[in-house]
Amino acid sequence: MRAHEAGALHAEGYGGPPHWLPTPGDVNELMPQLWPQTVTRDDEGRLTVGGLDVVSIAREFGTAAYVLDEEDFRARARAFRDDFAEPFAELGGVDVYYAGKAFLCTEVARWVADEGLCLDVCSGGELAVAQRAGFPAQRIGLHGNNKSVAEIHQALDYGVGRIVVDSFEEIERIAAVAAELGVRAPVMVRVTVGVEAHTHEFIATAHEDQKFGFSLAGGRAAEAIARILEHAETLDLFGLHSHIGSQIFDTSGFEVSARRLIGLHAEVARVHGVHMPELDLGGGYGIAYTSEHEPLTPRELGEQMADLVARELKTVGDGSPGSPAPKVSIEPGRAIAGPSTFTLYEVGTVKDVDLGGRAKRTYVSVDGGMSDNIRTALYDADYSCTLASRRSDAAPRLARVVGRHCESGDIVVMDEYLPDDVTAGDLLAVPGTGAYCRSMASQYNHTPRPPVIAVREGQARVIVRRETVEDLLALDVG
């Protein structure tokens, strides 16, 4: 549902439950695909993660709080590393870049490094986190459509492994900074390949109207490559990059993208005699937020992606007979961070609202909302949730979980079946909040942002502390 400026009652889709949400036989049952791998219920019905129950977590750290299953995060990172490495071994190999924009903090950057992944950052701030974590510079890539001179300087001074070029102006900026520092900047060209994977539309001109990259159809990508090669003393062109969307549940869009990217790769080899060693196919792999979603596993993704790249290389050729196949890189972010985390809230108010006739809506208000998860309001995102602090034998009732902010569109979970006896003081857990929730969190209504609590083997620790009112006031002058 799109949040309407006149209030939720005016929004499209304001009615009964969606088709994918059946009335549950057991309202306490957990759907494994929605939760971190170590999540279960104990004998008292309390949700547990990493062997620790959420009542204890709430008592020690308070609510609202993001609860991150460290082993789940690490396991998903390893799965992408290993399940892509095997099928790509007979090609040019593969690098997995964790997309830091999904969620990044110093400790998570260390986990990513520990598990052998590379790291994709798209701002000087994200790069600063990587530097603080001691992340190996050569395994870092810098993105962004409007990188400042200071950010380019920061990246080249640290020695990042690649900068993804996004505009003609940026080519000149990077070349100038590289000359100043006396280095040769490693660059890739972001190509707008005309594929938009959300709707599986692959017509080149249909998706050129965006701020990212150089158009393939309009010849801008080829022109950018030529300009970079004119700066051979300061710019090292080593690959092409594309990104086709997010929440992708099949690989058909990647097949079209790979075909067009490999075609350009071959053209550069024929026209300029340059064999670029890398192709980046981006990320966007989907996760399950509700029972509606059926994401591919990393193994399925790895096998299918390797198959389509091999097929396209055989069909198109890479323009350099006898040269090794280019290494492929991918950028999962949501698929690693998203399922590893749930948000823990405390219920404050339960209210029934008459809708006319015999219909009513149950609103369950929690101590968070759009300041810690803007995705429902911003993207019409659907979430699930469960009663987390106890088991209930009450009948299920359809509820809407809402936040504490002064907005009618402040909705956390649009529709969910909760026990009929849910009441103030209960804890609710919303899964799938590890990506784009803390990273897009705000201080709306001067609400301090929640902490991130990492749990592993029965131990919980703060990896991002809770903001305080003092933090909110610290930036005020006067």
Catalytic residue set: 406
Closest CA to 328 of 342, 348, 307, 355: 307
CA distance 393 to 421: 9
- In eight-state DSSP terms, residue 209 is -
CB 223 within 8 A of CB 273: no
- Distance CA(260)–CA(250), nearest Å, equals 18
- 175's CB contacts (< 8 A; 6+ apart) are 185, 231, 234, 235
Report residue 66 CA to chain centroid gap. Answer: 15
CA pair distance 301, 295, nearest whole angstrom:
10
Nearest to 282 by CA among 362, 363, 348, 197: 197
Angstrom CA distances, 198 to 28, 80, 98, 245, 301, stand at 33, 22, 21, 6, 17
Alpha carbons 93 and 280: distance in angstroms, whole number: 12
Q: Which of 297, 376, 388 has the alpha carbon at shortest distance from 342?
A: 388
Does residue 18 sit in helix, strand or coil?
coil
- Bridge-based pairing of strands 396-402 and 278-280 is unpaired
Q: Sort 293 into a burial class: Cβ within 10 Å, 0-12 / 13-18 / 19+.
A: middle
How far, in Å, CA of 286 to CA of 197, rounded? 11
Euclidean distance between CA atoms 312 and 151, whole angstroms: 36
